[in-house]
Amino acid sequence: MEKKDIANWFQNLQKEICQGLEKVDGLGRFIEDIWKRPGGGGGKTRTIVNGAAIEKGGVNFSEVYGKTPQKLLDTLELVNTNFYATGVSIVLHPSSPMVPIIHMNVRYFEMSPSSSDNSGTWWFGGGIDLTPHYIDLEDARFFHQELKNVCDQHHPSYYNEFKKWADDYFYLKHREETRGVGGIFFDRLANNHEFTKETRWGFIQDLGLAFLPIYSHLILNNRNKSFGDRQKNWQLIRRGRYAEFNLIWDKGTKFGLDTGGRTESILMSLPPQAEWHYNHQPEAGTPEYQTQDGLRKNINWIDGTSV
């Protein structure tokens, strides 16, 4: 399995997800923007706006390579070498506040050998998480059960390990709240005594293929629920929190900018509109308050208990 095989599979995944989302949305169509990265590589950014269900979204494919930026070398504690990275990144902001925001990223990273041992370095990373404007326990249970099903096919430890990782990663430290109901997150999945490159890759593929049926279900389950100005205003506030995370804490945003990635493609994750209200506190007993109260780590969404 060569890196080009991985990149080709990611390109096909982007195509299949875009086609499937267009079918579920029923109105919106993706437009494609092909870009080149100074220094090596490029990608395809596909965006959708003003659909029947999706107000703004992007499904990005990238394949970039070249001399490793010094910031990244310092972070990884490596000497001068070249890098290669490819993957698919998705963020979808729905029109209805009753439909959740979703994010997925699946990626492969490789460093060329930096010493005489000719070993090089490679790993897989990624994750998927759900950010409802209003927490629906059935949707949260469905989402996490589907992720657990994928994880359990590959290793019994994956779901619990990656679920905790997501709780810790998708967390707004300055707000002391999670971005949503979490999901799974992982990084630097390499080979060891238990896993090979092929088994790691099989997990990444299955997770990528799970995205479309999961989000299609969530759209269809919620798109026809009624809402008014109150719900739309709350949606804008929750989008503001989403923007805060992506601009302050998201490592993918930082990696893309540090490696000379395309700014428009990197920042496609931001919502079309958002609001910030000074010291906003939801009224006790309201659905908004219940959602705010649910933005905590260590909730077992499958059986509804705290752990």
Where do the domains of the chain lie, and which CATH numbers do they carry? 3-306 (3.40.1500.10)
Does 206 have pLDDT greater than 90? Answer: yes
CB-CB neighbours of 148 under 10 Å: 18
Q: For the chain, first and last CA: distance in Å?
A: 40
Share of residues in the chain with pLDDT > 70 (%): 95
Please pick, among 93, 103, 133, 144, the residue that the annotation labels catalytic. Answer: 103
Q: What is the pLDDT averaged over residues 181-200?
A: 94
Q: What is the pLDDT averaged over residues 14-41?
A: 96
**Cα separation values, 105 from 159, 193, 218, Å:** 16, 26, 18
Average pLDDT of the residues of the chain: 93
Does 259 have pLDDT greater than 80? Answer: no
What's residue 192's pLDDT? 87
What's residue 78's pLDDT? 67
- Count CA atoms closer than 13 A to 246's CA, side-chain side: 17
CB 302 within 8 A of CB 148: yes
The answer to whether residue 154 is catalytic is no
Label the pairing between strands 31-36 and 177-178: unpaired
CB 131 within 8 A of CB 101: yes
Share of residues in the chain with pLDDT > 90 (%): 80
pLDDT tier for residue 88 given thresholds of 50, 70 and 90 = very high
Q: What is the pLDDT averaged over residues 168-195?
A: 95
pLDDT top residue among 38 and 156: 156
pLDDT top residue among 134 and 37: 134
Distance CA 146, CA 152 (A): 10
Q: What is the pLDDT averaged over residues 130-141?
A: 98
Dihedral, 19, 20, 24, 26 alpha carbons, nearest 10: 10
What's residue 117's pLDDT? 42
